[in-house]
Amino acid sequence: MKVNLDEVINCIESSSSEYTYVYVIDEERIVPLESRNIESWPYEDDEIIALPDRDDIDDYGNMERFIQRVDDETIREWLSNAIRGRGAFRMFRATLERFHMLNEWYDYRDRCHRVCAMDWCEENGIEYEGARYEIDDDYDDDYEDEDDWQTEPVTKPVQAEVRPEYKVIAISKRNVNQLVFLASEFIDEQLEKHGYAKQDDPDEAISKLEQMIGDGALIHAVSDHGRYVGYSIVKDDKDRFGLDEIFVRKQLRCKGLGRMLMNQMEADAKEAEKPVQLDVDPADSDTIAFLRKCGYTVLSSITLEKSDQKQTGNMTELNGLPFSLK
């Protein structure tokens, strides 16, 4: 079940000191709860995910960012002065009216609220539906009737940042459960390549992911409207960064998602000032071809491991034995 993005936005904007909104995981729905009676909530902490509130959408910060995007230096200075001191929102609005930019601010603000809602969904692995950037021109604002006299904006329209279709999300204990079925797909694909029967054991996948997070591994997922469609696991060893797993759903391969995950790993390695070295199953020709496209070359050395499992099917003597890519 998907949540409606507009519902998420409305709940964020409607939050107050009296009511907060939470997403109930098992019920897959958003419910309001009294902020002052937390002890009476019918849910445990691990059963719900709190939605952002009005502080999280940070409309004062949105005003500052809006001002920085105004091209006209004179208007930008007027707006900057308007938000200093008491009555910042009122003065900001009055200044926007002066320069016929009120509707531009509404559009920018609504886009920022929409981005906040999308980020919350994606960071928590909650699949959503609804337009990512479409803004309704019919604003439900108390002041709308006063703005009918406005002419078209005389300045270049202020644009909000455009987010890409897919987004890389950091995985932690908070959202790791949303990755379990994707990780199970990876395990099944690897078992099938080596001639083993698929397994239907999500518990093993989640146990492995939690263990790797506890050991300090860096896990990232690619989110498509809150649905995780690819992921990578990178081990942060003492002297290097090593790619342990990288996986993208078959129907979404060759769309740049794997490269997004590789770019994230390389950025993390650069920040940590560590080299990158990759261990790959020599039978995994798809991954090797992908890594070659990313600029990695195969080294001649092979690291051997003795496997306790019996091999079945048409498998070469090196199947299951990792070799290094650098």
Beta bridge partners of 147: none
pLDDT tens digits, residue range 201-218? 777 788 888 899 999 999
Nearest to 130, CA basis, from 144, 113, 142, 106: 113
CB within 8 A of 312, min separation 6: which ones?
A: 195, 196
pLDDT of residue 73: 94
pLDDT at 300 over 60: no
pLDDT tens-digit series, residues 65-75: 999 999 999 99
Q: State the Cα–Cα distance between residues 133 and 47, nearest whole angstrom.
A: 30
Contact 164, 189 (CB under 8 A): no
| pLDDT surpasses 90 at 150 | no
| 75 phi and psi angles, rounded to 5 deg | -65, -40
Strand-pair category, 128-129 with 3-4:
parallel
What are the structural domains, with CATH classification, of the chain?
Answer: 3-149 (no CATH), 170-325 (3.40.630.30)
- Say what the pLDDT of residue 303 is: 58
pLDDT digits (tens, 9 = 90+) for 104-141: 999 999 999 999 999 999 999 999 987 665 444 343 34
CA distance 119 to 98: 33
Compute the distance between CA of residue 63 and CA of residue 58 in angstroms, rounded to an integer.
9
- What's the average model confidence in pLDDT over 179-189? 87
pLDDT of residue 257: 95
HEC string of the chain? Answer: CCEEHHHHHHHHHHCCCCEEEEEECCCCEEEEEECCCHHHCCCCHHHEEECCCHHHHCHHHHHHHHHHCCCCHHHHHHHHHHCCCCCHHHHHHHHHHHCCCHHHHHHHHHHHHHHHHHHHHHHCCCCEECCCCCCCCCCCCCCHHHHHHCCCCCCCCCCCCCCCCCEEEEECCCCHHHHHHHHHHHHHHHHHHCCCCCCCCHHHHHHHHHHHHHCCCEEEEEEECCEEEEEEEEEECCCCEEEEEEEECHHHCCCCHHHHHHHHHHHHHHHHCCCEEEEECCCCHHHHHHHHHCCCCEEEEECCCCCCCCCCCCCCCCCCCCEEEC
What is the pLDDT at residue 271?
93
The whole-chain average pLDDT of the chain stands at: 82
Is the pTM higher than 0.75? The answer reads no
Whether the CB-CB separation of 124 and 167 falls below 8 Å is answered with no
CA-based nearest residue to 32, from 17, 45, 19 = 19
- Predicted local distance difference test score (pLDDT) of residue 306: 60
% of the chain residues with pLDDT over 70 = 80
pLDDT of residue 156: 56
Instruction: Note the pLDDT of residue 301.
Output: 54
Please report, in angstroms and rounded to a whole number, the separation of the first and last CA atoms in the chain: 42
- pLDDT band of residue 299 (cuts 50, 70, 90) is low
Q: What is the pLDDT of residues 44-70, one digit of tens each?
A: 888 899 999 989 999 999 999 999 999
Rounded average pLDDT over 12-39:
86
Nearest alpha-carbon partner for 177 in 144, 195, 203, 214: 203
